[in-house]
Amino acid sequence: MEEPLNLVLFSGTDDKLQAAAILTAGAAALGKPVNVFLQYWALDAFRADRIDTDHGLVAEAGEVGRQAVHALRAAGQASWAETLRQAKELGGIDIQACSLSMDLLQIEQTDLDPLVDGVEGVTAFYLNAGAGQVVFI
Amino acid sequence: MTLTTTPSPTELPIAPPADPLAQAIADVEGLPEPTPELATDQPVKTKELVIVNWSGELDKVWPVLILSSTAAASGVRCKVFVTFWGLLPFVKDQKRIVGDNWMQKMLTLMQRPGIDHLKLSKMNFLGMGPWMMGSLRKQYNVASPRELLEAANALGVEFIPCQMTMDMFGLKREDLIDEMGEPAGAATAIEIMTEADASLFI
Amino acid sequence: MTLQITTQVDARGLSCPMPIVKTAQAIKTIASGDLIEVLATDAGSVKDFAAWSRTTGNDLVEQSVDGSVYRFVLRRK
């Protein structure tokens, strides 16, 4: 069994989530299993009622950076949520919400987008991660 | 129980050529090939570090350069995938206005590209922050991002620009510093990340 | 000799990583040994398809460029 790629998503801005979605989709296309663990602001962005809304960009983007990202979107780049949905069709992607963050943000699993497969603690995350790389975004 | 029946290997006399056929072959062919057991110098897999350089801020690019040049200096192969805001510091210095349309041009006017024009993520104070960092750096003899970049390059750190980001900023290969390698995308990033011994997203 | 292409992926205009994702989806629909043709305009796809081929074991049989369009032919493992 191939070692999975394990992504811990912490930041909830669209540019970080886009980078994470691209890495996830790339790994899935290569046939590598991917475990995604959603914490804090990234988890908040996966709420069903706001997953497809604007989550802003990191501060360094600036106003014109935002426009460059939107221009790329207008030119046909898929949103991070759409990229993840496409990637999930390839199989091998497991997206789990961090149980502690769920409590912190007072989110129920029913509040989350169907992209999220379940809720787990950090121990389960590390057990599933095995010897694979863990990348914090 | 007697110990004399099993003499230790060091006490064994040098074995006479017991097999006449083998002896004859050895005579004809000269020295025998080294046995596989003797050829223990199998290539030890070089350790590899991959860094995704996502942010373009001084206090993020700096550790990327410190870690990558240190890795390369320690015999760890290092590849840096340069993407999103992290690409602008790797645009040529003399390149002030890059991009195809007014928006991309305006963007780079506001965020001057190049390794010598980095901003801090916190306490930028309209450039005062980086200036103070620069003074502290000189005072404590820390290498500047430019020096580190040159060192990293000399040590063979591989910088891979992200094609999608180049498209976003309207950058061409020749707009980037010569040290950058061939542009690539996510599949390449994943390949190098999962094959590495450690990968960092900075 | 012309190659017998079983299926095609038109990824022109799509940005990273969609050309690779679409190809990975499409190659699942063909039999082992069959060929898939991909057209893409993403300049990063040249290195990416080589990396994808190495990692997945699907052979990159042919690759060419016509203006800004890259063409890849891959054989399913």
Chain B partners within 8 Å of A27 (Cβ): 190, 194
Alpha carbons B124 and B119: distance in angstroms, whole number: 6
3-state secondary structure of A76: coil
Question: In this model, does residue B104 exceed pLDDT 60?
Answer: yes
| DSSP annotation of B87 | G
Q: Which domain CATH number covers C68?
A: 3.30.110.40
Rg over alpha carbons for chain B, rounded to the nearest Å, is: 28
Q: Please say if the pLDDT value at position B192 is more than 60.
A: yes
**Is the pLDDT confidence value at C9 over 90?**
yes
Interatomic CA distance for residues A116 and B147, integer angstroms:
45
Residue B150, pLDDT > 80, answer yes
**pLDDT band at B43; cut points 50, 70, 90:** low
B122 CB burial (10 A radius; 0-12, 13-18, 19+):
exposed
Residue C59 belongs to domain spanning: 5-75
Is C10 a known active-site residue?
Answer: no
A28 contacts on C by Cβ (under 8 Å): 21, 24
Indicate whether B39 pLDDT > 50. Answer: no
Name the amino acid, one letter, at B18.
Answer: A
Residue A135 to residue B193, Cβ atoms within 8 A: yes
- Judged against a pLDDT cut of 50, whether residue B38 lies above it is answered with no
The answer to which of A18-27, B35-44, B100-109, B132-141 has the lowest mean pLDDT is: B35-44
Number of domains in chain C: 1
Residues B181-193 have a mean pLDDT of 93
pTM of the model: 0.75
What single DSSP character describes residue B55? -
CA distance B68 to B79: 8
Q: Decide if pLDDT at C59 tops 90.
A: yes
Length of chain A: 137
With pLDDT > 70 as the criterion, what percentage of chain B qualifies? 57
Edge-to-edge order in the sheet of strand A34-38? A118-120, A93-98, A34-38, A5-9, A134-136
- Check B164 against C15: CB less than 8 A apart: yes
Specify the pLDDT at position A73. Answer: 84
Catalytic residue among C3, C13, C15, C16: C16
Option in C16, C52, C55 nearest B164 (CB): C16
The tokens describing A114, both together, are: 């169907």
Q: Which of the following CATH numbers is that of domain B48-201: 3.40.1260.10, 1.20.1250.20, 3.90.79.10, 1.10.3260.10?
A: 3.40.1260.10
Selected residue of B47, B82, B84, B104 to mutate for chain A interface (largest A Cβ count, 10 A): B84
**pLDDT for position A135:** 93
Asked if B58 contacts B202 with a C-beta cutoff of 8 angstroms, the reply is no
Q: What is the pLDDT of residues A98-135, one digit of tens each?
A: 999 999 899 999 999 999 999 999 888 988 898 899 99
More confident residue, A109 or B16: A109
Tell me phi and psi for residue C19, to 5 degrees.
-55, -40
Tell me the pLDDT tens digit for each residue of A79-96. Answer: 999 999 999 999 999 999
Tokens encoding B29 = 């062919």
Amino acid letter at A132? Answer: G
Strand ranges, E, within C1-77: 5-11, 35-40, 59-66, 69-75
Nearest residue on chain B to A71, alpha-carbon basis:
B168
Q: How many CA atoms lie within 13 A of A74 on its CB side?
A: 6
Nearest CA distance, A38 vs chain C (angstrom): 21
pLDDT computed for residue B36 by the predictor: 47
Residue A62 has a pLDDT of: 79
Q: What is the gyration radius of the CA atoms in chain A, in angstroms? A: 15
The answer to which of B94-98, B133-137, C33-37 has the lowest mean pLDDT is B94-98
- pLDDT tens for A39-76 read 999 999 999 999 999 999 988 887 778 888 888 888 87
Residue in C28, C20, C2, C21 with CA at minimum distance from that of residue C72:
C20
Share of chain C above pLDDT 90, in %: 65
Q: For position B1, what pLDDT does the model report? A: 47
A137 touches chain C (CB under 8 A): no
Give the three-class secondary structure for B180.
strand
The one-character DSSP state at B138 is: H
Domains, chain A: 5-136 (3.40.1260.10)
Q: Higher confidence at residue B141 or residue B34? A: B141
Chains B, C: CB contacts within 8 A come to 52
